[in-house]
Structure 1
Amino acid sequence: MVRPGLRVRSIRRVYRRAPSGRVVIHFEEKRPGKPICSNCGKPLGGVPKLKHVELRKLSKSKKRPNRPYGGTLCSTCLSRLITRAVLREAH
């Protein structure tokens, strides 16, 4: 029987074939998905794909791009947002 801490589905089960031919289950933590833009859903560039524990060790400048809405919006959506704001202000 597997120990209770590994009997959860939040831990990924990976099947490996041992040199003896026996199939063994290895337990690995699931890796987080790529951060995505909150507007269009496109993967964000410049944002690391790390677990929260690993992300906590990085400095703020390494966690996200240093621009308004960095780490939340992609560069395309940000430029559209700024353009819309300027046009709205002009009217």
Structure 2
Amino acid sequence: MSAPRFRNGTFKRTLKRVPGGRKVEHYKKKKPSKHVCAKCGKVLDAVPRGRPYEIRKLSKNQRRPNRPYGGMYCTNCTKEIIKKEARSL
């Protein structure tokens, strides 16, 4: 029987074959949900999804797009915001 902390939906279960020939259930944390645009809710494609320890290993330019509001807003919303800022000057 698995430990009580593994008996919920938080962990993803995978069967692994061990050298002795038995199949053992391994538990892995699920991936977090995809990042979405703060304005329209569209999924941000350029932002990787992963656990914090996986994201930490990536370089800064791999974590988010290298543009203003990168990783916060989608391209269309970014264009709108920049236009709005430029027109208000």
Query: Percent of counterpart pairs with the same letter?
Result: 41
Question: How do 1:1-91 residues align onto structure 2 when only pairs under 5 Å count?
Answer: 1-12=1-12, 27-89=27-89
Give the root-mean-square deviation of aligned CA atoms: 2.2
TM-score by length of 2: 0.75
Equivalent residue pairs, number: 81
Aligned partners of 1:62, 1:26: CA distance in 2, in Å?
29
Superposition deviation, residue 88 in structure 1: 1.6
Query: Which ranges of structure 2 fall in alignment gaps of 5 or more residues?
Result: 16-23
TM-score by length of 1: 0.74
- SS of the equivalent of 1:86 reads helix
